[in-house]
Amino acid sequence: MPRYAMVIDTRKCTGCQSCTVACRVHNKLPVDMIYNPVTTHGPVGKFPHVRMTHIPSLCMHCDVSPCVDACPTGASQQREDGIVWVEAEKCVGCKACVMACPYGARVSNHEEGTVQKCNFCKDDRVDQGKLPWCVQTCHQKARVFGDIEDENSEVFKLVNGSKNVGRLLEELGTEPFVYYLY
C-alpha cells in the first residue's frame, strides 16, 4: 500500500495560481471556496536583489489528523494510503473539523451545509493512477506527488535527499505529509 505525499518546491513556485484554478474548476467550487490558496511573501530586499516567496497551502493529509478525531459523525476519514477526506453524506456541517485543523485547510460549503477540503483528487485522479490536478497543471513543476515509501519515487528522493526540506507546524505532532523545499 502506498503512502501518498506531496513536495512543494517554493524555489520553483512563481505564484501563478494555476494549481488553485485547476482545483477550483475540477471541484466545481463556489466563488467563496478555495482548497489550496497560494500566499505570497515579499517583495523583500533591495534592488536589484529583490525576491518573493510563494507558499501554496492545502490539506496536509496528516498521519495524526486532529480533524478526523474531532468529527462526531465519522464523515472525516483517512484511507490506508494516508489520504484524508470527507464523506459528504455523513457530514452535518458542525465545523468541529474546521476548528480542529491547525492548517486552516477545511472550508464550509454554506450551500450544501457540509465541510469540504482537498482530497488529492483521490477518486478520479489518484485512484486511476493519475496525478492530482494541482500537480498536473503546475508548469514550473513546483509540485511533486507520489509514494513517499517508495525509495525510487521522486517524492522519497526529494524529502530524504535535501537539507532544505520542512513541514508546516511540525511541532504540533500531526505528522503532515506535505513537505516544502526552500
Chain centroid, CA 149 distance in Å: 18
Q: How many residues can be counted in the chain?
A: 182
Model pLDDT, residue 32: 85
Model confidence, pTM: 0.94
CATH of domain 4-181: 3.30.70.20
Model pLDDT, residue 31: 85
Model pLDDT, residue 28: 93
- Give 10-residue mean pLDDT values along the chain (182 residues): 97 96 94 93 94 95 98 98 98 98 95 96 96 97 98 98 95 98 96
DSSP-assigned beta bridge partners for residue 41? 53
Model pLDDT, residue 67: 98
C-alpha span between 41 and 55 (Å, rounded) = 8
CA atoms within 13 A on the CB side of 71: 24
| 8 A C-beta contact, residue 34 and residue 105 | no
Domain ranges of the chain: 4-181
H-run or E-run covering 155: helix 154-161
